[in-house]
Amino acid sequence: MTALARPTNGRMIGGVCAALARRFGTSATTMRVIFLVSCLLPGPQVLLYIGLWIFLPSEEKARTSW
């Protein structure tokens, strides 16, 4: 199992969707579409994205802490 960290390459805004896609074995584009569609539903999706952006380490920091 891979550690959940925002990648340094292939990220669009914060790398959250790319990190989740890598973790769940799907493409980053698929994860971004899922996120955008979920934004049409009521709920705290944007706040969750911002929280993950803050709390998920970037790949660079995750490598140095291992």
pLDDT digits (tens, 9 = 90+) for 7-66: 888 788 888 999 999 899 999 999 999 999 999 999 899 899 999 999 988 887 766 665
Burial 50-59 (b: 16+ CB within 10 A, else e): eebeeebebb
Give residue 25's domain range: 16-65
In a domain, 3, yes or no: no
In a domain, 8, yes or no: no
In a domain, 5, yes or no: no
Query: Residue 46: in which H helix or E strand, if any?
Result: helix 45-55
Is-above-0.95 flag for pTM? no
